[in-house]
Amino acid sequence: MITADDCRWPQGQYGLPTRNGKLKEVDRFDVAFFNLPSKQAHNMNPQLRLLLEVTYESICNAGINPIKLKGTKTDVFIGANGSDAQNVFSSDPQTFEDYRPSSYTVDTACSSSLLALDCALNALRNDSCHAAIVGGVNLCFRSQTSVQFLKLHMLSNDGTCRAFDSNGTGYVRSETIAIIFIQKRQDAKRLYATLLHSKTNADGWKKDEIHLDPNHVGYVEAHGTGARASCKRHQPLLIDSTKSNMGHPEPASGVAALAKLLVALQNGHIPANLHYNSPNRDIPGLCDDRLKVVTEKTKLPNNLMAINSYGFGGTNVHAILQANSNRKENENLSRNEICLAFACARTPDGCENILKNLKEYENNIELQALITENSFHPSHTHTYRGFTLLNPSESSTIVNKCNNERRLVWFVFSGMGTQWSRMERDLMKLKLFRQTIERSSIILKKYNIDLFQLILSSTPRDLDHPINNFVSIAAIQIALVDCLKTMNVEQDGIVGHSVGELAEETILAAYVRGKCVRDANLPAGGMAAIGLTWDECKQMYPSDIVSACYNTIDTVTVSGPKQSIEKFVKTLKEK
């Protein structure tokens, strides 16, 4: 990442160090994805374009479909120097028509992005917003800015950032675009860590506000400058600085260090601090073993860690985080069950790559949930849909281009003849389906009908009884509708019978209908599907048989006394 080249300005210009940290391909931007006019995108600051991209990625990574943030109180806090990234989202009301966040740009030099995090935390605690997009941005396009830092003797001549080392001569300027999406804990779908508290000051000391024993903090991601430790510790405090790894991204350094912390939490290890050989004598804690620089890959000592950023204007920020201790995969039988996986993308290859990754980790239901949440993008932006089965003996992947025209959804409710023994047994594994069946079972219990017995251990003979038949079919269809509605599948129309909007009335109607059939003691009847037209069939059947249903142009269902139906069918077969 830290390279010596002339992609920003000619090497050695104005006597500047030749090595800097640079992002690649900052001139590229997916105009169509963000629905921006090409002319407007061309004139946008590259920092703003990149912020749009990483913000979208951050929201998706949090397990949220960005479309669902429309109309919500989600504010934006960006740390940046100058006015390069002002009004990040509100700058384009046409593109983000339904987004109306409060947007803040924070500029306190090197502590800008961590101060933006502090502002977001206070806004969440005050209910000023329900979620926050926190980030930092730094692109080094102007050599004149580097010249100013060079004159202040702040830059490293050899392009190496030796944090905490006695041979440190300055820092390496670096570029970063980083976004963190934060929510209240109870609203979060994906939890990396909890921000316990943050505090800011100006060249001063702040008293303890959360009553946390400093000895319990196991690791500090430091700004990279030394400070005299004010407390005695039972063991050395581990410290590290991301600047030794990637340089100093200035206003974005706080959120860049926070991203490093979150990666360390995922892996359970702290990456090594580079270029550290001997302790800086101006940092007493390094000399008396109160502080220990992480010089090799090290396991996180505990779940508490801190991060700090100092601005050369005097604004300092410190934050305490607690790792999510429940990151280990829990035992869940559904990890090994066959399930449908689907994805949406803008290209066929995009769909295939997503489904390929899902099949590679087909027991990872957390990954499946993340992909599923982000698989409902509009067809005019994500024109391809893909499907595959996970955990099967064999399966194939299907990817098709979808039609932008919305197709109508009709719920077709069937009647008698569609039942079979134990037909709901596999569906009972679905929590919502089972809950709906339980409600129907409570309703039927006072009529001495054991719905669970019918579902889990019925025989074909049990379903020959009209009451058992009717209530089983109705109960299943009610439960299926409940499951579809939780997936936001709403019907445009209904065709069929034996269904109602309210579960209790529907299941009772099915019970009463079956009871009437049983108690009427009518002569046995029969039905048959005949492969004739309506007129042909009408000319051939006897007077005690009627046409009951027009199925298709050459198929008719007839009904009548059982013996007459059997005799009529036999006559037709002989012909």
pLDDT class for 119, splitting at 50, 70, 90?
very high
Domain total in the chain: 4
Structure tokens given for 65: 């479909």
Would 77 be classed as within a structural domain? yes
| CATH code of the domain covering residue 380 | 3.30.70.3290
pLDDT on residue 422: 65
248 belongs to the catalytic site: yes
Q: Which of the listed residues 475, 500, 520 is the one where a domain comes to its end?
A: 520
Q: By percentage, how much of the chain surpasses pLDDT 90? A: 29
pLDDT in tens, 523-555: 778 888 888 898 888 888 888 889 888 888 888
| CATH code of the domain covering residue 467 | 3.40.366.10
Active-site residue (options: 110, 129, 351, 537): 110
Residue bearing the bigger pLDDT, 418 or 505:
418
Would 307 be classed as within a structural domain? yes
**Lowest mean pLDDT, pick from 62-76, 196-210, 235-249, 501-515:** 501-515
| Average pLDDT score over residue span 62-73 | 88
Active-site residue (options: 248, 275, 318, 382): 248
Distance CA 306, CA 310 (A): 14
| Average pLDDT score over residue span 143-168 | 89
223 belongs to the catalytic site: yes
pTM of the model: 0.74
Q: Is the predicted pLDDT of residue 95 greater than 60, yes or no?
A: no
Distance CA 492, CA 487 (A): 15
| Average pLDDT score over residue span 334-354 | 87
pLDDT in tens, 310-340: 988 889 999 999 988 766 656 666 677 888 8
pLDDT on residue 58: 94
Would 328 be classed as within a structural domain? no
Regarding whether 343 and 292 lie in a shared domain, the answer is no
Contacts of 358 (CB under 8 A, 6+ apart): 341, 343, 367, 368, 371, 388, 390
Q: Is the predicted pLDDT of residue 94 greater than 50, yes or no?
A: no
| Average pLDDT score over residue span 357-378 | 86
Q: Is the predicted pLDDT of residue 413 greater than 70, yes or no?
A: yes
Taking a C-beta distance cutoff of 8 angstroms, is the pair 257, 247 a contact?
no
Active-site residue (options: 129, 140, 161, 223): 223
110 belongs to the catalytic site: yes
**Lowest mean pLDDT, pick from 26-40, 225-239, 258-272:** 225-239
> Angle at CA 363, nearest 5°, toward 357 and 368?
60
| CATH code of the domain covering residue 532 | 3.30.70.250
Q: What is the mean pLDDT of the chain?
A: 83
- 3-class DSSP state for residue 176? strand
- Residue 143 has phi, psi (to 5 degrees) of -70, -25
Q: Which of the listed residues 346, 366, 401 is the one where a domain comes to its end?
A: 401
For 188-255, the DSSP string reads -SS-SEEEEEEEEEESS----SS---GGG--EEE--SS-----S--SSPEEEE-THHHH-B-GGGHHH
Would 338 be classed as within a structural domain? yes
| Structural domain for 554, as ranges | 525-574
pLDDT on residue 512: 66
- 3-class DSSP state for residue 482? helix
Q: Is the predicted pLDDT of residue 498 greater than 50, yes or no?
A: no
pLDDT on residue 511: 63
